[in-house]
Amino acid sequence: MRGGSERYSGSRRKEGEYRSEFQRDRDRVLYSDEFRRLSGVTQVVSATEGDVFHNRLTHSLKVAQVGRRMAESIIQKSSSDLLKACGGPDPDVVETAGLAHDLGHPPFGHGGEAAISRAMRDSGLDEGFEGNPQSFRIVTRLAVRYSEQEPPGLDLTRASLNAILKYPWPWEKTAVNDDKWGAYREDGDCFEWARDSEDPREERRSVEAELMDWADDITYAVHDLEDFYRAGLIPLERLNARGSDGSSGLKTPEIKRVAEVLQEEERDLTEDLTKVEEGLVSLIDPYFLPLDAPFDGRRQQREALRTAASALITRFINAISLREPKGKDERLVKIDEEAELDVKLLKALTKHYVIQHPRVVSIRAGQRRMLETLFSIYVEVIGSKKHRDRALLPQAIQDRRDSGDSSQRLAADLLASRTERQVVQTYQRLMGVGTSPVSYFDV
């Protein structure tokens, strides 16, 4: 890990180096094996379900792009004194965080995350598993950059590591922080090093981490709505209406029905049903009003989707500003309340129409069972002294059997490093239903 106590040491260029250290951080994440794996990992539905859907790789690329544009926009419209008080942002650091924020995301989305965590806790490791500390673990310990570097990791600067820490506190404090945290106990030394330039009494995120988090929300909200309208799961054509006189902004029966469901199920939206209805109408009109029929691929629909996505992302980027840091937990980035509600509504639409769809729920049940079964097998094999059993493990895990990490943690690392295709094929082979024992190699 690089960088001195001075936070922006990474913005400098060493003699003979054409990149700053922050630019080098970004390149190292982009070229890592762990980043490439994300092309085979679920965003909302399985990466193998169809080419129309975003996967974790395309999602991360968009988070990085939107985050960088937000950082550049804030720099342009903020005074130098305010930028200094907030400690940034640096566009390269925000982009690095966007690329890296989902490196630890396991196969099969948040259902897979919950399955691995439950299996770990059932086996006696109370800390469990969560994607955010797994991302931090990858960039600081698991990824390989130099042959003699200890710990391995990508050797990132403090600023980039802090930007990846969306939840900059240890697991012990999750009871009051919605079951999210930044680093596992095993990685506490790396966490303390990364937070060395911050006041250890504070849990405030860096300004780059806040921008990355908002970029994550924006891209998830917008591109998932687009994906599932194209897939026929989100009926935008039933959510918008135009009156006989050409007027728009009407509350359709579908708007009223969905608003009641969202207002009841999504407690963090608002208790005002009328506000939910009006919020949905303001999102559909004017952005999606031209979409008056199910998606069939016609040029008019594709143009309308591109225009709507661009307009929404631009609006959400412009909805933020920096503010003077005051309380230790207060945000450094202020988000317009209406924009924040609109992003929540867009995400809630995907949850209602897609994530809670019976077909998707039933698929997730089977995916969880595969992960739980493989976890149990791997914990047993990692602890075995038989060479025949150890041969079931990828070489990267065999190399780390004496690292001091528990069998549960190593098994979780293994599963979280797999694509969904690898999980399915490994499960089939171990259950005796695979077609060929040498059809591919776990490397």
> Do 242 and 249 meet the contact criterion of CB atoms below 8 Å apart?
no
Q: What span, in angstroms and rounded, lies between the C-alpha atoms of 35 and 41? A: 11
* Positions of the chain with pLDDT lower than 50, given as ranges: 3-11, 175-176, 200-201
For 296, the token pair is 């069939």
Look at residue 201 in the predicted model and tell me its pLDDT.
44
What does the alpha-carbon distance between residue 98 and residue 16 come to, in Å, rounded to a whole number?
A: 28
Q: What is the CA radius of gyration of the chain?
A: 23
Q: What is the DSSP letter of 334?
A: E
- Extract long-range pairs of 86-89: CB within 8 Å, 24+ residues apart: 86/207, 86/322, 86/323, 86/324, 86/325, 86/332, 87/7, 87/206, 87/207, 87/332, 88/8, 88/159, 88/206, 88/207, 88/208, 89/207, 89/208, 89/211
pLDDT value at position 204?
84
Pairing of strands 333-335, 320-322: antiparallel
pLDDT value of position 89: 96
Q: What gap in Å lies between CA 420 and CA 61, rounded to an integer?
A: 19
- DSSP class of 436: -
Would you tell me how many other CB atoms lie within 10 Å of the CB of residue 65?
A: 16
CB under 8 Å to 344, separation ≥6 — which residues? 266, 268, 269
Both tokens assigned to 386: 């038989």
Q: Give the per-residue pLDDT at 433.
A: 79
What angle (nearest 5°) sits at the alpha carbon of residue 365, between those of residues 174 and 213?
40
Cα–Cα distance measured from residue 119 to residue 94, given in angstroms and rounded to the nearest whole number: 33
Which pLDDT score, from 0 to 100, does residue 251 have?
Answer: 85
Q: Provide the pLDDT for residue 246.
A: 56
What is the total residue count of the chain?
443
The confidence score (pLDDT) of residue 199 equals 53
Q: What spatial distance separates the first Cα and last Cα of the chain, rounded to whole Å?
A: 25
pLDDT digits (tens, 9 = 90+) for 168-211: 988 876 544 558 899 999 999 999 999 875 554 467 899 999 99
pLDDT at 50: 55
CA distance 193 to 200: 11
Name the region of 179 (left: φ>0; alpha: ψ -120 to 50; beta: rest): left
DSSP class of residue 157? B
pLDDT given at position 94: 98
Q: What is the pLDDT of residues 310-362, one digit of tens each?
A: 999 999 999 999 998 876 667 899 999 999 999 999 999 998 898 888 877 88
